[in-house]
């Protein structure tokens, strides 16, 4: 959730910290702050709101120093305020730290520290860490004080810590919240993900849970919580800083919507063998024979990725013949999942760091299941901890509301369907047809995106409404839920996504002239039933916007507005039908003057439970 950035080396720290905060702001924007060390002096500044507020506060201030830490916050404990903003410090103003995660036993720790005379200045769980390090520092050196502190806390953390008495050292530690160490020629930059690092280096070290690094301007020593030195490989970042820029678009979200043809093309490139009707997934090579014996697949994911999993369920069961269940990762381990060696658990996560999804994968491994991942971030925790997997290669997604990662996930689920299906009873003819149609999707997506201006007009027409019903059937039922989620996320209007057949079992009571319906009514195996549902809405004076198949003129007589998408194989329709819903939500929110890239209360990567 929160974003951490730090620097130690020969350069001035503050410009690197501020640039990093801007690039991490999608992880949280309730408040921001930094601490910069210059000799035995540490300067700290904080501001409530977005990073721009902090930038305005320090405008024209001279804050030199080659060591610093910074933080952009998504509030958990304590409301957004300057006193709750990070960095937090101890009583003596010696220890300063930033934290992403939750300290579960902070109340008992705080109680003990207060009894020992410590004075707290915030409502956060994080502050106990600074005071605990201070307490131990009375007896032992800085590094040992950090070790002892971490031994006494329960919960999750990504931490960056500096000490006024050790002005040439930065300590970082990870347990459940991601931290990446960027290796520069003249120092080190650390961050919650690679977005702030890629401008300075393409060489990174990914910390694993239970690891701590002592970093100077010239070297870093990484040890695990057993105090043993760990040898880490240096990985290469596979995208450039230009990919994380807006490139002239007003928002990252719009840029990423428009990048979807390219993202899908990158997801399937080199993996789709059209002439043979097969998918080659190198990331699954080591478990290929185990997957041939697979009896059941369980998909675990959250939010938009969960809806991708639901589409995947339809694909995998209908075409690959694999029994597939889709579960909210946040609930998976709180019951008794029935798994065995013939079950695979597939995690879908854009960031590869989603806390609930990662916990589900760890539970699955404990139960003996094969674990697989579909993630967009190379080197992420889920990518490292699963037995096998497939990378999206969709490029960085900065907008909080997921768009291109979602369609990339659908593309890979289609590839997985082809891969598993051809291992089983899927014929060459069917495999070839799926491969041919999937290869055409990027081109068809572009034709939908070319209607962006028309979709904007539809969004403006319905801008006064504050309630929407999204309806779909079969493959497009999850897309109805995803469309409703998008407009909720960035416009803060009430929207519900439902299967058409369930409308009569409750939601139809909401329909009137002030409650429009977005109906996905493509020409597929459930088309006639979908039209019947539209008639029921119209009979109750409901306005209907339809997503329909190009060439369907009949539907124009039934609905108020139509947005057309090209015809494709039914299982691939969601890749096209979701695009107008993304554009509708985007233009609807922009019309209200809202910041679609940073919607309130949301963060891009949910790394705490």
Residues annotated as catalytic (active site), given as ranges? 2, 604
Which helix (H) or strand (E) covers residue 327, if one does?
strand 323-328
Q: 53 has which bridge partners? A: none
CA-closest candidate to residue 266, choices 392, 93, 385: 392
| Alpha carbons 401 and 104: distance in angstroms, whole number | 29
Q: Which two tokens stand for residue 454?
A: 């028309």
3-state secondary structure of 417: helix
Residue 441 burial (C-beta neighbours within 10 Å; 0-12, 13-18, 19+): buried
Query: Using an 8 Å Cβ cutoff, are 87 and 99 in contact?
Result: no
* Sequence-separated (6 or more) residues with CB below 8 Å from residue 560: 516, 543, 544, 545
Closest CA to 83 of 47, 110, 109: 47
**Across the chain, how many H-helices and E-strands are there?**
18, 26
Q: Which of 255, 259, 261 minimizes the C-alpha distance to 399?
A: 255
Q: What share of the chain is helix, strand, coil (3-state, %, to 5)?
A: 40, 25, 35
Bridge partner residues of 71 (DSSP) = 4, 33
How far apart CA 113 and CA 587 sit, in angstroms, is: 51
Within 8 A by CB and 6+ apart from 344, the residues are: 290, 291, 294, 296, 297, 298, 369, 370, 371, 372
**Cα–chain center distance at 461:** 31
Query: 141: Cβ–Cβ under 8 A, 6 or more apart, which residues?
Result: none
Pairing of strands 41-48, 3-9: unpaired
What pairs with residue 6 in β-bridges?
69, 190
Q: C-alpha angle with apex 390: 315 to 598, nearest 5 degrees?
A: 90
547 within 8 A of 521, measured Cβ to Cβ: yes
- DSSP track, 505-542: GTGGGG-STTS-EEEEE-SSTTHHHHHHHHHHHHTTT-
Distance, CA of 271 to CA of 79 (rounded, Å): 47
Residue showing tokens 């658990």: 345
């Amino acid at each position: 959730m929160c974003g951490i950035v730090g620097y130690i080396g020969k350069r001035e720290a503050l410009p690197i910290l501020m640039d990093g905060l801007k690039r991490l702001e999608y992880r949280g924007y309730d408040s921001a702050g930094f601490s910069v060390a210059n000799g035995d002096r540490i300067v700290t500044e904080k501001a409530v709101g977005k990073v721009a507020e902090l930038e305005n506060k320090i405008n024209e201030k001279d804050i030199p120093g080659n060591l610093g830490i910074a933080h952009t916050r998504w509030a958990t404990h304590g409301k957004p305020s300057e006193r709750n903003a990070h960095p937090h410090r101890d009583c003596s103003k010696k220890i300063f730290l930033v934290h992403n995660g939750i300290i579960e036993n902070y109340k008992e720790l705080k109680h003990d520290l207060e009894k020992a005379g410590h004075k707290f200045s915030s409502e956060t769980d994080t502050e106990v860490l600074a005071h605990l390090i201070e307490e131990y520092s009375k007896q032992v050196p800085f590094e040992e004080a950090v070790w002892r502190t971490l031994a006494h806390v329960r919960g999750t953390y990504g931490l960056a810590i500096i000490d006024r008495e050790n002005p040439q050292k930065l300590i970082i530690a990870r347990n459940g919240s991601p931290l990446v160490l960027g290796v520069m020629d003249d120092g080190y930059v650390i961050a919650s993900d690679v977005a702030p690092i890629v401008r300075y280096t393409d060489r990174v070290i990914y910390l694993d849970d239970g690891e701590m690094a002592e970093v100077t301007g010239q070297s870093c020593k990484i040890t695990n919580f057993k105090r043993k030195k760990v040898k880490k490989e240096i990985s290469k970042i596979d995208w450039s800083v230009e990919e994380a820029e807006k490139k002239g678009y007003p928002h990252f979200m719009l840029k990423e919507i428009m990048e979807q043809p390219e993202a899908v093309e990158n997801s399937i490139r080199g993996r789709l063998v059209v002439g043979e009707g097969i998918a080659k997934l190198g990331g699954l090579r080591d478990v290929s024979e185990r997957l041939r014996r697979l009896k059941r697949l369980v998909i675990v994911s959250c939010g938009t990725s969960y809806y991708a999993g639901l589409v995947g369920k339809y694909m995998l069961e209908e075409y690959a013949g694999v029994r597939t269940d889709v579960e909210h990762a946040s609930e998976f381990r709180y019951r008794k999942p029935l798994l065995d060696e013939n079950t695979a658990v597939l995690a879908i996560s854009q960031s590869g760091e989603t806390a609930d999804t990662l916990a589900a994968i760890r539970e699955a491994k404990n139960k003996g299941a094969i674990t697989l991942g579909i993630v967009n971030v190379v080197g992420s925790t889920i990518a490292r901890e699963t037995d096998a997997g497939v990378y999206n290669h969709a490029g960085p997604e900065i907008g909080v509301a997921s768009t291109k990662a979602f369609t990339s996930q659908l593309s890979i689920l289609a590839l997985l369907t082809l891969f598993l299906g051809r291992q089983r009873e899927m014929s060459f003819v069917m495999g070839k047809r799926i491969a041919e149609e999937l290869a055409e999707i990027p081109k068809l997506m572009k034709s939908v995106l070319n209607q962006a201006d028309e979709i904007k007009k539809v969004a403006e027409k319905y801008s006064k409404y504050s309630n929407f019903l999204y309806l779909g059937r079969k493959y497009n039922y999850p897309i109805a839920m995803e469309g409703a989620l998008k407009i909720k996320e960035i416009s803060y209007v009430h929207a519900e996504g439902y299967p058409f057949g369930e409308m009569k079992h409750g939601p139809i009571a909401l329909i009137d002239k002030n409650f429009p319906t977005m109906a996905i009514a493509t020409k597929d195996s459930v088309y006639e039933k979908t039209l019947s549902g539209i008639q029921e809405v119209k009979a109750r004076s409901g306005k209907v916007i339809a997503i329909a198949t190009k060439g369907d003129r009949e539907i124009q007589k039934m609905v108020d507005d139509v947005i057309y998408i090209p015809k494709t194989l039914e299982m691939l329709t969601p890749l096209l039908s979701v695009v107008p819903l993304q554009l509708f939500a985007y233009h609807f929110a922009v019309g209200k003057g809202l910041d679609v890239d940073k919607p309130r209360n949301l963060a891009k990567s949910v790394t705490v439970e």
